[in-house]
Amino acid sequence: MDDTDFSLFSDKKKHKKDKADATLMAKTPTSELDLKRIIISRPTTDDTYENCARAGIALILNHRDVKGQKARVGTERDRDDMKATLQGFGFDVRSYDDLTFSDINDLLKEVALEDHSQNDCFVLVVMSHGTEGKVYAKDMAYPVERLWNPFLGDKCKTLKNKPKLFFIQACRGENLEKAVEFSTFAVMTRELVAPAVAPVAQPITYAIPSTADMLVFYSTFDKFFSFRNVDDGSWFIQSLCRVLDVAASNEAAQPEGAELLRLLTAVNRKVAYEYQSNTKNEALNQMKEMPNFMSTLTKTFHLRVKPKT
């Protein structure tokens, strides 16, 4: 049976905490040192991220029991499969269940202070209830950007110029994705050409936005439901695990690695083509789901299987 990860509290009422988050003013440098500092932006020919010694740290925030919400039955399957998949790539996987927002906030700040300089990337996977622009901790909802703010370039120095990957399994609204049908007469294929070897990096200082080199992969389109099977786990997380597992046994095990965006597109395709809801609730039956990602990656990132840490 399929369920959704939509918050039961989907009203538009504003709360004090929400208002505070929405009205934070942007801060600009005001010190004399900041005002006198000259920043020079220049082009780069480096089009691939560095291949480091370790895969990196991967956090899993799993929420089954959220205050005032329906239990997310089946999420344990997602948690365990995601952990095994990431460990297969050599990630230092740290899994947490039903943390409060305060615990999450402290955890993310602590991990951001760690040394990531020898890591390929950073990964954070969240599985919870959600609504427009927010996901749920055990005790409250919080703006989704609070997940990546501690890892931005101006806060986490050792993750500058490294991919920061966020995977979010949660509803983003209450709209339902209806199925549309089409017919085709041929299967088109194309040969993938391996990317050229990146040139040797030169000792040059570059200026990039603090929000650069980040990717957020949502389980569903903005303002739409996200589905989870109570026995088999969520469509999105299970598809992500299957695609990454296949890659880990094939191209990601090779020196050149597996190109990330191609893998994520395969996840989109798998969920879009292979899944539809099956539930006694007619309003939710035979519905679809469309994952999508937002990327500020500035280079090509290849996932590679690394020695376990």
Q: How far is the C-alpha of 46 from the C-alpha of 185, rounded, in Å? A: 41
Dihedral of CA atoms 203, 205, 210, 214 in degrees, nearest 10, equals -30
Q: How far is the C-alpha of 197 from the C-alpha of 53, rounded, in Å? A: 18
Residue 36's pLDDT is 73
Coil, strand, or helix at residue 50? Answer: coil
Domain ranges of the chain: 2-7+47-175+206-303
Residue 197's pLDDT is 62
Give yes or no: 302 in active site: no
Give yes or no: 241 in active site: no
Q: Which one is catalytic: 63, 116, 129, 302?
A: 129
Please, what is the Cα angle at 169 between 168 and 174, to 5 degrees?
Answer: 110
Q: Which one is catalytic: 116, 121, 156, 171?
A: 171
pLDDT tens digits for range 119-151: 999 999 999 999 999 999 999 999 999 999 999
Amino acid identity at 187: V
Residue 8's pLDDT is 47
Residue 91's pLDDT is 98
Dihedral of CA atoms 258, 75, 151, 212 in degrees, nearest 10, equals 50
Tokens of 288: 């679809």
Residue 193's pLDDT is 54
Give the mean pLDDT per block of 10 residues along the chain (309 residues): 58 45 50 74 93 98 96 96 98 98 98 98 97 96 97 96 98 86 61 56 77 97 92 96 98 97 98 93 91 97 92
Distances (CA, A) of 125 to 167, 205, 246, 266: 5, 32, 19, 18
CATH number for the domain formed by residue range(s) 2-7+47-175+206-303? 3.40.50.1460
Residue 35's pLDDT is 67
Average pLDDT for the chain:
88
Distances (CA, A) of 224 to 28, 99, 170, 171: 35, 25, 10, 6
